[in-house]
Structures are given as C-alpha cells and as structure tokens.
Structure 1
Amino acid sequence: MTTTATDNKVTSPWTVDAQTATTNRNLRETTTKANDTVGVDGFLKLMTAQMQFQDPFEPMDNSQMVAQMAQFSQLAASNDSNNLLATIAQSVSGSRLSDAASWIGKSMLVKSNIAAPDRYGQYAGELTLDKDADALSVDLVDASGGVVKTIDLGARKAGAVSFYWDGLNEAKESIASGALQVKVRGATPSKVATWASIAAVQSPAGGADTQLITALGNYSPSDALRLG
C-alpha cells in the first residue's frame, strides 16, 4: 500500500466498502456501554447487519442462525428477568401494604396548610421559621372565611414551632369538627405542616405505591415527615 502527501496531509488510495462502513457504524453505536456488555438493541443491530451484508454465495449456515437466535432469546429473557426482579424489590420496599397497615390509627405530619381534627377533635401542626418572630400567631379559618380559633404563640426562635388546639371554646364546648385552613401572622414560614390521622390503607391496582387515607386526602408513606 502506498500513500501520498499533499499539504502535510496523508491520504490513502484504499476506500471502505458499504458493508464495512455499516459494520463500523453499528459497532460505534453498541460500544457506548462497557466493552463486555451489549444490550438487546445492540445485539439485534449486529445480527441484522450480519444478515444484510452476508455473502450471497456463502450464506450463513442454518445452525449458526439458530444459535444466534437462541442467544438473542436468552438475552431478552435475562433482560425481562431483571425488570421483574426490580419490580418485586420495589413491591417489598417500605411502602408495601403490610408495613403501611401498621400505621392505621396513628397520625402523620405532612406538608399542608389545612388542619383536620383527630379522633379526639384536636388540631395540631408545625411551622418552620427561617428567622425569629416577635409576635407569632396562627388563625384557624373555616370554609366561609371566619376565624374559628386564634392560637397566640408569642415570640419564637427560628426553626420548628408547634401549634395545638383542643377544638373547644372557653366553656369547654366543641366548636369545630371539620377541616380548617391554617393562616400564619407575624412571620412567613418556609413550611407549614399539619398532623393527619391515618384511617385506612389502600393498595392501588397496577403496582402503584400504597396510599394512606386521611381526612386531608391520600398520601404516600414517603410523604410523612414524622409519625406520632
């Protein structure tokens, strides 16, 4: 083989035929993974290129074809098995139904500006302050916009601040029984969270995450900031 030099560039008289070019392109596409790993798509591309550009006078032997198809089937089955194992692993994670069922009757702290009473008629929640507050208070407001209860929290340091109301007036009479909106005065909290009682557990069809049913709505176990 000879080469010629023109303007410091080296050229070759040899050219790459279409079959070699296609094979090289397929190899480049399948080497994006580790050298010892070829996925299902890469294996199929290689086998298709081999069949497309085989010598018509010396076609692939039938036994070779059967062997390669068997390898492809084994690779596809292995891939399906890995996906199935991943699904099984997810189904037995901390959000599985048997674990979440033990949460029934407990309360969970979730991000929400709506407070619902527990089985004793009590309202509770937590504010997160980024800075100190001199006169912090929480209004619990009903659906009509009326303030049912004002909880005076006074001066508070930055951080988590809890609030609580037993649902009773000064005469010890229950004056609230439904969900109330939490409105904060004297500060702008970075997070408002309330306690919600877990009434039941639901396992949706199709392998979706287990849902915890509360008066505030349905939540995933991962939504719980804290259990109480």
Structure 2
Amino acid sequence: MAGINNVGQSGLSYVDQLKSLQDQKKPEETGGKQDLNQEDFLSLLTKQLAQQDPFKPVSNDQMIAQMASFATVDGIGKMNTQFESLNTSMTSNQALQASTLVGRDVLVPGAAGVKEDGAAMSAMVKLPQSLDNVFVRIENEVGQLLRTFEVGSKPAGDNKVEWDGNDDNGNPLPGGKYKVRASGLLDGENREFEVSTYANVNSVLLGKGDGNVLLNLAGFESPVRLAEVLEVGKA
C-alpha cells in the first residue's frame, strides 16, 4: 500500500499503529479474535495525517491508494456476509426439496444394501463395456457367500440386476443388510465391477453447518450426502 510505512510524530509506522490498535481491541478474558472495521481504518488514517511530517506530507496518490484499500477491505467483508447468507438459504431450499424423498428409494454408491423381509433386492452394476455374461454374488455383512447367479449378457453402462432374496438352496433369507458383488471376464481376466444399491429414505438432515444436506437411509448407520444420490426410485 502506498504511503503505508510513513512514520508519524509518535515514532510508529502506520503498520505498527494498525497492529497496536488491533491488540487493544483483543478481549482480555476470552482471547477471541476481533477484526478491525472501516471505522478503525479511518481513525488510523486521520491519526496518520495529523502526525505526518509537514515537510514530507502524504501525496494525493498515497491518500487515494489507502482509501481505495479501505473500501476494498470493507467490500470484501460485506461480500463474505452475503455469501454466507446465500449459502444458508440454498441449504434450506435443498433440505426442503430433499424432504420430498422421505419414503422413497434412492440409488447410492456402494455394494451394501438393505433387503426387506420376504422381498427381493435390486442393485445397479456399471460395466466399462458390453459383456457376454455377468455373475452376481450375494454376501452377508461379514462377507459369507450366500448366493451366486448369472444375469447373462449386458451392454456397457448401468445395468439393473435383481436378486429374489433366496440363497443357493432356494430358501428365503431374512431381511437385513447384504452385499451385492458383480464380476465377469474382461479382456480374458476376471474383473470386479462397480455396484450401487437402493435404500429407503427415512429423514433429512441439514448437516453440520457445511452446506451439505444429508439423508438418513433405512439400515444405514451413517447418513449419506444428497449429492451422492445417483437415482430416485419408487416410493
């Protein structure tokens, strides 16, 4: 900043005066941080003018540069406040829109999904290219293999697969959390593919002040960010 190192009659530079005033504004007990506002800057500018060397006065260019800097600092502070208000408003609107998802199924990344008692379970498999045959494995939460079946040839992209909820012996498995694995031969090698599963939305959270809207999903211990939802299914 032009003229910022001028020394007044007090023997302190402008930077030293600014630091001194900031130290005086620090609360004695809490030790919390307080920022200098435009009024403080103008007070310092007035003091600088009053204590300047009459033989080396501050030039008009220096004065304009300093006042422009004060205006910029004040403008940035107001802009930050407006952005915070806008972020809060957008988060609230997202939460309001997300509330319509309560009771609906959503597709989220991850092999672990929840099967209701006596019902089937769906998942989405992403393939890098078309395959002649895709194999699906169903595991419980501890990784024990319960069912293996083929779903035939599938094109590249997202492919929905259905599990009837039974084990390899045809016995229905109870409701709970299961993992869906998908694999197949790709370029002569057996490869695992990305899987996403469906879950029902129980409630919506505003997050922890970070602007994220979170969804509480049935059977999931931790909430999922709304931004992670890949598809909205049936109610």
TM (norm. structure 2) is 0.61
Q: CA deviation at 1:182?
A: 1.9
Query: Residue in 1 aligned with 2:13?
Result: none
Q: CA deviation at 1:120?
A: 6.9
Q: CA deviation at 1:194?
A: 1.0
- Alpha-carbon deviations, 1:32-75, whole Å to 9, x = none? xxxxxxxx9xxx8xx88x959x8523667xxxx9xx78983x65
RMSD: 4.0
Query: Residue in 1 aligned with 2:147?
Result: 149
CA contact (8 A) 1:125 1:195 kept: yes
User: Against the structure 1 CA distance between its residues 132 and 189, is the aligned structure 2 distance closer, same or farther, given a 3 Å change threshold?
Assistant: farther
User: Against the structure 1 CA distance between its residues 206 and 51, is the aligned structure 2 distance closer, same or farther, given a 3 Å change threshold?
Assistant: same
Alignment of 1:75-86 (within 5 A): 75-86=72-83
In 1, Cα distance between equivalents of 2:161 and 2:142: 22
Q: For 1:206, give the aligned amino acid.
A: G
1:227 to 226, 229, 232: 232
In 2, Cα distance between equivalents of 1:88 and 1:138: 48
Alignment of 1:139-218 (within 5 A): 139-168=137-166, 174-187=172-185, 188=191, 190-214=193-217, 215-216=219-220, 217-218=222-223
In 1, Cα distance between equivalents of 2:75 and 2:110: 44
Larger CA Rg, structure 1 vs 2: 1
In 1, Cα distance between equivalents of 2:99 and 2:199: 16
1:92 to 89, 92, 97: 89
User: Against the structure 1 CA distance between its residues 57 and 167, is the aligned structure 2 distance closer, same or farther, given a 3 Å change threshold?
Assistant: same
CA contact (8 A) 1:151 1:163 kept: no
CA contact (8 A) 2:102 2:202 kept: yes
- Alpha-carbon deviations, 1:61-112, whole Å to 9, x = none? xxxx9xx78983x654432332222223223337632111111111111111
Aligned identity (percent) is 19
Q: For 2:112, give the aligned amino acid.
A: I
In 2, Cα distance between equivalents of 1:169 and 1:141: 10
Q: For 2:140, give the aligned amino acid.
A: D
Q: For 1:134, give the aligned amino acid.
A: D
| Residue range with higher mean Cα deviation, 197-206 or 115-124 | 115-124
In 2, Cα distance between equivalents of 1:101 and 1:139: 34
Q: For 1:220, give the aligned amino acid.
A: R
| Residue range with higher mean Cα deviation, 202-211 or 101-110 | 202-211
- Alpha-carbon deviations, 1:135-159, whole Å to 9, x = none? 2121110134322233420122222
Q: For 2:135, give the aligned amino acid.
A: S
User: Against the structure 1 CA distance between its residues 120 and 90, is the aligned structure 2 distance closer, same or farther, given a 3 Å change threshold?
Assistant: farther
CA contact (8 A) 2:124 2:196 kept: yes
1:115 to 92, 113, 116: 113
Q: For 2:109, give the aligned amino acid.
A: K
Q: For 2:144, give the aligned amino acid.
A: G
User: Against the structure 1 CA distance between its residues 130 and 69, is the aligned structure 2 distance closer, same or farther, given a 3 Å change threshold?
Assistant: closer
Q: For 2:81, give the aligned amino acid.
A: L
TM (norm. structure 1) is 0.62
